[in-house]
Chains A and B, each alone.
Chain A
Amino acid sequence: MKEISELQFAEDVRYTDDHEWIRMEGDTAVVGISDYAQDQLGDIVFVELPAEGDTFAQKDEFGSVESVKAVSELYMPIGGEIVAVNEDLEENPDLVNNAPYTDGWLIRVKPSDPAEYEVLMDKDAYLEMLKGLQE
């Protein structure tokens, strides 16, 4: 597994304490999991995603990510309605491993309350959190 110094981060996103990231793109937001998360899980074999039209509150469980030996639940960084899911992940779940911040995106959300985005961690805060976990 990677050392902290080897981890990749995206600059234009915010992070949650269970390792999801969220990027605002106009009036919708894209969500995925961080490089740390995919590295911890190992080779991803299956991603369980919600349906378009489903609505969730912030911190609700919306799906899960499976590797060979582990499962991780996914939690909403902000509340809202699912407007799209990444259908490529059905055939190519490895996109989450290889491009966690770009092609490995999970869902696109229409936020119900954009203010929820503001309380999330930026890259520096997330990095600090990861260093804390190490100890």
Chain B
Amino acid sequence: MKETVGTHGLVFNEPLLWEKGAAGRNGFSMPSRDVPESPLDEALAGAGPDFPDLSEVDVVRHFTRLSQWNFGVDSGMYPLGSCTMKYNPKTNERQAALPGFAGAHPLLPAELCQGTLQLMYDLQEFLAAITGLPAVTVQPAAGSQGELTGMLIFAAYHKSQGKARHKILIPDTAHGTNPASAALCGFKAVAVASNESGVLSPETVAGLMDEDTAGIMITNPNTLGLFEENIHEVARIVHDKGGLVYGDGANMNAIMGIVDVSQLGVDVMHLNLHKTFSTPHGGGGPGSGPVCVTSELEPFLPVPRVVKTKKGYELSEDFPQSVGKLHAFYGNFGILIRAYSYILSMGAAGLKKATQLAVLNANYIKEKLKGDFHLPYDRPCMHECVFNDKIQEAYKVTTLDIAKRLMEHGFHPPTVYFPLVVHGAIMVEPTETECKQDIDAFIETMKTIAAEARENPELLHEAPQITKVRRLDETLAARKPCLTG
């Protein structure tokens, strides 16, 4: 019988930290005491937290075992749509750990941190080069904080024009952070339906755009993996009524070196360094969400900003129209280091090639699987393609079942049930770092699962069976939340 990618193996049970250890055990090398003890007012002193005492061996074994229960990009293919789970280069880790970077205090005077300031400045220039939008901030700590920054810039711009606006147009394919970020800024989200081809129609936008609408948030390519081909016209309609266009850059991996974002009519866009620019996803962050804007909107960028003077690099607060500050310091600098290293390693030709191969991989998967899984939009896709479970419905097999079966075959499932406009969506984004053999193995596995759905649906309903735990009771977790031990 043919070997599957995923297989059985020995993993270890490991209790919770407070279920192990023994009072008096020690895992930390306490620095020697060269100062006397100082009395402390008893009213202020506490008993200290109830943490277990563990040896170094206890802790190392604990987290080593926990790590074995996880699937990372280094384990196997991770085709999560709109997440761009590409390989995380290890040289980036070496750079981030350099003592001059890792040990840098953020409030050092400029003359003592020229290295870190230069890195931020250079990275801003690189991102401007990649997007075509000349003014950049690297302060937002994640994509959604970048979106908030963008919404604040919209509000500040309209205020400077003398009239506050209250609405934002958001396509029905948008990521949930889009309306959430708009709402945080006091805007009302107005949904825009995509057309039968899966993209925005200028007429629909024109019907909704008015002078109380601050602008539109667009993801391009959108979350169906399709290029918003009407974007010029849409941008013109919005601009004509005095609005601005926000670009959610989550899908930047599809257009590097190919599209000039400034030519699309986009005024403000954020990038996700933890997607397009190879920084590790960390089990949920940290990410980084730099924002790039047109020169007209430059005065509104958050402060402080890195500027280059004759003396060198400095941080300047001298931007009276700035929207303010979103991060205590300058953003997730450690993540900026990694993205910077990646861009220097790839160069312009490398980034463009990455985009081309990402789009090739996605189209290849689309062509090979469209017989086995329903493809709601049968047209060329960009770096991701969206299937659903329509064919498998006949066998009472759902997208969820397919995902759970795929994982025990050795692949992380694609994004499921998003975007909401496709019922039972399966969004596949292979990225460019997957080789042809692994993509072929994925395709073959998906075909196997399609056959299993027909011939042995129970196998899918019972999946997964060989993982550390099987399907978990999420209803219980929500009805009777147990959030601490």
Interface positions of A (Cβ within 8 A of B)? 43, 45-46, 66, 68-69, 93-94
Any A CB within 8 A of the CB of B479: yes
**Would you give the shortest CB distance from B478 to chain A, in whole angstroms?**
4
B397-421 interface with A by 8 A CB criterion: 417
B422 to chain A minimum Cβ distance, whole angstroms, is 16
Q: How far is the CB of A12 from chain B (nearest CB, A)?
A: 30
Bound-complex Cα distance A94 to B480 (A)? 12
B interface residue count range (under 10 / 10 to 19 / 20 to 34 / 35 or more): under 10
**Cα–Cα distance between A94 and B476 once the two chains are bound (Å):** 11
* Interface: B318 (CB within 8 A): no
CB distance from A1 to the nearest CB of B (A): 10
- Which of B417, B474, B478: most chain A CB closer than 10 A? B478
Complex CA distance for A94 and B474, rounded to whole angstroms: 14
Over the window 72-86 of chain B, the binary record of Cβ atoms lying under 8 Å from chain A Cβ atoms (1 yes, 0 no) is 000000000000000
Q: Cα distance A46–B474 when bound, in Å?
A: 13
A18 to chain B, nearest CB (A): 17
B475 proximity list for chain A (CB < 8 A): 43, 45, 68
Residues of B within 8 A of A (CB): 417, 474-475, 478-479
Chain B residues near A69: list those with CB within 8 A: 417
Chain B residue nearest to A45 (CB atoms) is B478
Residues of B with C-beta under 8 A to A43: 475, 479
Please give the distance in Å from A134's CB to the nearest CB on chain B: 13
| Contacting residues, chain A, for B417 (C-beta < 8 A) | 69
- Ordered by A's residue number, 11 sampled pairs between the chains whose C-beta atoms are within 8 Å are A43-B475, A43-B479, A45-B475, A45-B479, A46-B478, A68-B474, A68-B475, A68-B478, A69-B417, A93-B479, A94-B479
Question: What separation, in Å, do the CA atoms of A67 and B477 have in the docked complex?
Answer: 11
In the docked arrangement, what's the CA distance between A43 and B475, Å?
Answer: 6
| Ranked 7 nearest A-B pairs via Cβ | A45-B478, A43-B475, A68-B474, A45-B479, A68-B478, A68-B475, A45-B475
The smallest C-beta distance from B347 to any residue of chain A, in angstroms, reads 43
CA distance A93 to B479 in the complex (A): 8
* Docked complex Cα distance between A24 and B478 (Å): 33
User: How far apart are B399's CB and chain A's nearest CB, in angstroms?
Assistant: 12
Cβ of B420 to closest chain A Cβ, rounded Å: 10
Known: A45-B479, A68-B478. 5 other contacts (CB 8 A): A43-B475, A43-B479, A45-B475, A45-B478, A46-B479
| Bound: A66/B474 CA distance, A | 13
Nearest B-chain residue to A92, judged by Cβ: B479
Q: Which residues of A contact B474 (CB under 8 A)?
A: 68
Nearest Cβ on chain A to B445's Cβ, whole angstroms: 26
Contacts of B478 in A (CB 8 A): 45-46, 66, 68
Chain B residue contacts of A93, Cβ below 8 A: 479
List of B residues within 8 angstroms of A94 by Cβ: 479
CA distance A66 to B479 in the complex (A): 10
Residues of B close to A45: CB separation below 8 A:
475, 478-479
**Residue ID in chain A nearest B475 by CB atoms:** A43
Residue of B nearest to A42 (CB): B475
Q: How far is the CA of A43 from the CA of B474 in the complex (A)?
A: 9
Minimum distance in angstroms from B393 CB to a CB of chain A = 11
In angstroms, Cα B311 to Cα A46, docked, is: 60
Query: Across the two chains, which residue of chain A brings its CB closest to B478?
Result: A45
Q: How far does the alpha carbon of A68 sit from the alpha carbon of B417 in the complex, in Å?
A: 14
Chain A nearest CB from B196 CB (Å) reads 17
- CB B8 to nearest CB in A, in angstroms, measures 30
How distant is B389 from chain A, measured CB to nearest CB, in Å?
Answer: 13
CB of B400 to closest CB in A, whole Å = 10
Q: Which residues of A contact B479 (CB under 8 A)?
A: 43, 45-46, 93-94
Task: Report the minimum CB–CB distance from A86 to chain B (whole Å).
Answer: 16
Task: Report how far A93 CA is from B481 CA in the complex, Å.
Answer: 13
Q: How far is the CA of A93 from the CA of B476 in the complex (A)?
A: 11
Which B residue's beta carbon lies closest to that of A66? Answer: B478
Contacts of A68 in B (CB 8 A): 474-475, 478
